[in-house]
Chains A and B, each alone.
Chain A
């Protein structure tokens, strides 16, 4: 990537370390011209810091449902918890080890420390996005090259399947599969399985957009040159086309992660998630289920909404910035 300016002295490439330094400096100079990428990284960084703070300040068992508390620690009508007072309105008074730990963000109706739920749920939600997003991108890219490069019946078949599946609303297919899957697992479903279900449809988008890029690239003279010089199909794809399409695929990967997280939160908000997890979507579900909006439990429903909003805006800025990086024509400011 020609990120360094042509006026840069070429002699600096004498040692590998200064080379790396140069590349880093070039990368930094480029990033400064692309504020979207910086904003995206900053927002995602905020979420990681928040997660780190939560992990340092809480213990994993704080995020457990009251049903998992030792019997003598479960608050009851006869034995109300010490936190049960009007001076402490942000505790819903269901956390069982309140005397030992401070609850920075309060506790929820299920007896979970809200901060502890986040330190568990944020990695889980991001994991769903990464699993479904990367599976979708890899499968989609392979299918796109198969369809776009080789054409013919293969292309027609792949295009027909994609077109057909896209006429049925994706959420509908996901709901049906999720309900079936839960039943197979005896009502239980882990969030990893949810990610795999979402991956079943996550390849549709990448297949479509990458295929159209492959079609355009196939016409380029250097690809034709490579074919004329006797390279076979896989060689042309791996050596000539992939390196050039990589930025575009990476930019689309961010988008795929974002839409996988969106789908997971949607399914979870409908009550089809992993009830033993603390993903952001499950927090939304519990909030809807217990009516925390109309009960005025603002400290319960507002943090997940804020985190989800920051997460999506961060991913959005990142994908826009990467789009610009992958497609320099967009760089032209008006």
Chain B
């Protein structure tokens, strides 16, 4: 039974990835945009001029170079066969940089910033929401602190980012306005001063994400906890004379945290796509910026590469949750899923 379930689930995983990556191949191509023309326009804007008769030849050469002159079906087959080897070719707008190189450069920035801030918000929000719903807890303090976060959760995080930039960077001049590090320093990951610099630059974007998402986790946890407290086993825990701490952590939180972890596992892969707007507002050198620049320049190969990795990460997370969940929560069996 379990083997059958696993096989079906993995089949689904492969199918989702296949359809999503195909969609991702055709969608930018059906927009009628020409990445080569876009690139030549960029070059012209930089002052590189081309004679009219050379222009057509140039476009032809570029198209041949990137294989864009071949039939769509052949391009599609090449794409599928190279993508499974994580080879996404070369960027059109940033030629001759390889797509994998662009991704490798940007990914650590995004993952470092977003994984840290998401996990921090998850832990703080989940615990806060749990205490808020707990009848015997120190509720008064939390009732004052948490509701403002519920409201913040309704505000788009990039607007929060704008306010933070103004307050902490522009008015108080405590933190830098944006960027991953100061433009005057050379990146040197072994230098403590540079690491401090990177940390200072990541504080504002991280703060805006954390402040805007604590409320989301707290709300989810609170409503789960309220449901839990109506359950018979909570009454039993009390009747058994367990300490309040034990009843709280082992009985209530242990059960209420399960859906929270699912939500976390589904949120984390989105980290790979970066926070496009946060990275844009803070000028942060993460994957969101790479993706945005690729989309506006119709850099097919970069879009394909980044989206393939995002889709892979999300589909994988969904697979892992579905497979692991019955182990975490014995009430759910494989057959019913």
Contact = CB atoms under 8 A, between A and B. Distances in A.
Interface of A: 160, 163-165, 167-169, 171-173, 175-177, 179-180, 183-184, 258, 262, 265-266, 269-270, 284, 287-288, 293-294, 296, 298, 301, 305, 308-309, 312-313, 315-316, 330, 332, 334
B311 A305 contact: no
A298 B20 CA distance: 43
B133 A334 contact: yes
Nearest to B19: A164
Nearest to B24: A168
B151 A270 contact: no
B201 to A, nearest CB: 16
B20 A334 contact: no
Interface string B275-296: 0110011000000000110011
Provide the main secondary structure of the chain A interface. helix
A308 B156 contact: yes
B154 A167 contact: no
B27 A176 contact: yes
B229 interface: yes
A169 B16 contact: no
B223 A309 contact: no
Nearest 9 CB-CB pairings of A with B: A180-B31, A316-B154, A167-B314, A312-B154, A169-B273, A164-B19, A313-B154, A164-B16, A167-B311
A172 B154 contact: no
B43 interface: no
B226 A167 contact: no
Given A167-B20, A270-B276, A301 B162 contact: yes
A293 B154 contact: no
Interface string B110-137: 0000000000000000000000010100
B314 A269 contact: no
B170 A172 contact: no
Interface residues of B, number: 51
Given A183-B32, A315-B154, 11 more contacts: A160-B15, A168-B23, A169-B273, A177-B27, A177-B31, A179-B295, A266-B156, A293-B166, A305-B163, A316-B151, A332-B226
Nearest to B166: A293
Contacts of B276: 171-172, 175, 270
Interface of B: 15-17, 19-20, 23-24, 27-28, 30-33, 133, 135, 150-151, 153-156, 158-159, 162-163, 165-166, 170, 177, 223, 226, 229-230, 270, 273, 276-277, 280-281, 291-292, 295-296, 298, 303, 307, 310-311, 314-315, 318
A180 B295 CA distance: 11
B229 A176 contact: no
Contacts of B30: 180
Contact of A270 (B150, B230, B277, B303): B277
Contacts of B162: 284, 287-288, 293, 301, 305
B159 A172 contact: no
A309 B157 CA distance: 11
Contacts of A164: 16, 19-20, 23
7 contacts: A164-B20, A169-B273, A176-B31, A288-B281, A293-B162, A305-B159, A309-B159
Contacts of A287: 162
B159 A184 contact: no
A183 B154 CA distance: 33
B289 to A, nearest CB: 11
B170 A294 contact: yes
Contact of A284 (B15, B159, B170, B315): B159
Contact of A167 (B16, B150, B153, B166): B16
Nearest to A265: B156
Contact of B165 (A160, A171, A293): A293
Contacts of B133: 334
A271 B318 CA distance: 33
A157 B15 CA distance: 12
A35 to B, nearest CB: 12
Contacts of A308: 155-156, 159
Contacts of B291: 172
Given A172-B291, A312-B156, A180 B32 contact: yes
Contacts of A160: 15-16, 19
A309 B318 CA distance: 33
B332 to A, nearest CB: 15
A14 to B, nearest CB: 42
Contact of B170 (A176, A293, A309): A293
Contacts of B310: 167-169, 172
Contacts of B229: 334
Given A160-B15, A269-B158, A313 B151 contact: yes
Most buried by B among A270, A305, A334: A334
A207 to B, nearest CB: 16
Contact of B295 (A175, A258, A312): A175
Contacts of B223: 330
Nearest to B223: A330
Contact of A266 (B27, B28, B277): B277
A8 B192 CA distance: 74
A308 B154 CA distance: 10
Given A269-B158, A305-B163, A334-B229, A180 B33 contact: yes
A177 B135 CA distance: 49
A183 B298 CA distance: 12
